[in-house]
C-alpha cells in the first residue's frame, strides 16, 4: 500500500499557476487537502445533529474541509437524512464526495431461519446501497439480545456476507468495547467468534481503534493475530482523562503512527474519522481531526 504522495505529484497538483485548478469551498486549491492515504473519510454520525438540521449545507461544508468520502448511517425504507437514497447520493456527487461505506444494522430479526437467508427487506437494503456504488455495508453494533446467542449470529452474518457478495458489495462488522467480553457456550470473546466463525471471504472487520483501546486491548496485538482482516478503521482519539472520552485525532493518548505503520499487515484500505464527544462543536471537531490526521507520519 502506497501511503505517500510523491514530491513531483504534490508540486504538480498544488501549483497555483496551473490553468483550471480545482478550488475547494473556502477558495483554496482542492489538491491542498489531499490526504496521505488513498481513502480518508468521515462517519456522518459525528455530525448527526448538523445533518438533521441541514444535510445539504453540512455536506457542502464537509467538502470545503477537504472530505471526499463519507460513511453514512440512518438508512430507513429507501431513504437517508430525509431524502430518497438516490437523491442523497446525488447530493454527495454534486459536492465531489463518495460514500464507499455505510453503517446498517443487521440483527437476528433480519434472518429467516427456515430458509437460512436474509429477509427480503434486508436484501433490498443491501441492493439499494449497491445501486449507488457503496462498496461496504457495515453492521455497526450487535443488539444486546443477539450477544447472548453467538452461534445464531454467526449464521446471520454468514448469510449477510453471502448476499452482499452476490450484490457486489462487501459485508463488514464494526466493533465497540463489548466485543472484548466473553459470550457463547465456550466462553470466547465476541470478537473471537466473529473472527473465527464467520468466513473472512464473506465478512471483513472495521476496527474502531478507540473502542479496542477503551477495552484495554492493544490494536497492534489484534492486527498481529489476525492480519489482513481489518479493511476499514474508525479513527478517533482517547482523552487523557478519567472518563477516557473521545477527542480529535492527535489530541489524546492513542499512538496512531505505530498502528498505521502496520496498515499493510492489517489490510487497511479505508480510514474513517469519527467523534462521539466534542471539545468545541461537531463541525469544528471533525475539521480539526482531519487536519491532525494529515500531520501523522507513517
Torsion angle defined by CA atoms of residues 41, 43, 47 and 53, in that order, rounded to the nearest 10 degrees: 100
pLDDT at 267: 98
- Give the pTM: 0.88
Arch. (CATH architecture) of 37-294: Alpha-Beta Barrel (3.20)
Give residues with Cβ within 8 angstroms of 170, minimum separation 6.
135, 136, 137, 164, 204, 231
pLDDT at 34: 58
Half-sphere exposure of 114 (CA within 13 A, CB side): 1
Break the chain into its structural domains and give their ranges.
37-294
Cα distance between residue 260 and residue 254, in whole Å: 11
pLDDT at 35: 67
pLDDT in tens, 189-209: 999 999 999 999 999 999 999
pLDDT in tens, 102-111: 999 999 999 9
Distances (CA, A) of 231 to 170, 173, 177, 261, 298: 10, 10, 19, 15, 17
pLDDT (tens, 9 = 90+) of the chain, 298 residues, equals 433 333 333 333 433 333 333 444 444 444 445 567 999 999 999 999 999 999 999 999 999 999 999 999 999 999 999 999 999 999 999 999 999 999 999 999 999 999 999 999 999 999 999 999 999 999 999 999 999 999 999 999 999 999 999 999 999 999 999 999 998 778 899 999 999 999 999 999 999 999 999 999 999 999 999 999 999 999 999 999 999 999 999 999 999 999 999 999 999 999 999 999 999 999 999 999 999 999 999 9
Amino acid at each position: 500500500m502506497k501511503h505517500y504522495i510523491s514530491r513531483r505529484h504534490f508540486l504538480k497538483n498544488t501549483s497555483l499557476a496551473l490553468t483550471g485548478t480545482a478550488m475547494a469551498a473556502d477558495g483554496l486549491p482542492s489538491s491542498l487537502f489531499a490526504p496521505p492515504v488513498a481513502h480518508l473519510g468521515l462517519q456522518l454520525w459525528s455530525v448527526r445533529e448538523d445533518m438533521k438540521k441541514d444535510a445539504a449545507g453540512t455536506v457542502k461544508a464537509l467538502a470545503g474541509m477537504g472530505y471526499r468520502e463519507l460513511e453514512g448511517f440512518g438508512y430507513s425504507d429507501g431513504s437517508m437524512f430525509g431524502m430518497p437514497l438516490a437523491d442523497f447520493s446525488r447530493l454527495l456527487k454534486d459536492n465531489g464526495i463518495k460514500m464507499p461505506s455505510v453503517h446498517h444494522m443487521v440483527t437476528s430479526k433480519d434472518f429467516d431461519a427456515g430458509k437460512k437467508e436474509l429477509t427480503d427487506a434486508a436484501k433490498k437494503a443491501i441492493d439499494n446501497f449497491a445501486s449507488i456504488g457503496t462498496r461496504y455495508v457495515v453492521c455497526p453494533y450487535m443488539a444486546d439480545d443477539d450477544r447472548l446467542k453467538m452461534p445464531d449470529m454467526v449464521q446471520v452474518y454468514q448469510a449477510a456476507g453471502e448476499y452482499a457478495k452476490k450484490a457486489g458489495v462487501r459485508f463488514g462488522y464494526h466493533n465497540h468495547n463489548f466485543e472484548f467480553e466473553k459470550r457463547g457456550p465456550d466462553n470466547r470473546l465476541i470478537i473471537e467468534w466473529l473472527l473465527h466463525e464467520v468466513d473472512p471471504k464473506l465478512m471483513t472487520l472495521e476496527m474502531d481503534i478507540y473502542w479496542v483501546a477503551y477495552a484495554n486491548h492493544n490494536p497492534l496485538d489484534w492486527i498481529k493475530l489476525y492480519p489482513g482482516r481489518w479493511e476499514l478503521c474508525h479513527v478517533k482519539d482517547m482523552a487523557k482523562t478519567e472518563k477516557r472520552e473521545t477527542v480529535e485525532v492527535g489530541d489524546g493518548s492513542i499512538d496512531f503512527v505505530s498502528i498505521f505503520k502496520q496498515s499493510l499487515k492489517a489490510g487497511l484500505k479505508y480510514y474513517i474519522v469519527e467523534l462521539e464527544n466534542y471539545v468545541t462543536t461537531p463541525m469544528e471537531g471533525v475539521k480539526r481531526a482531519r487536519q491532525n490526521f494529515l500531520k501523522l507520519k507513517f
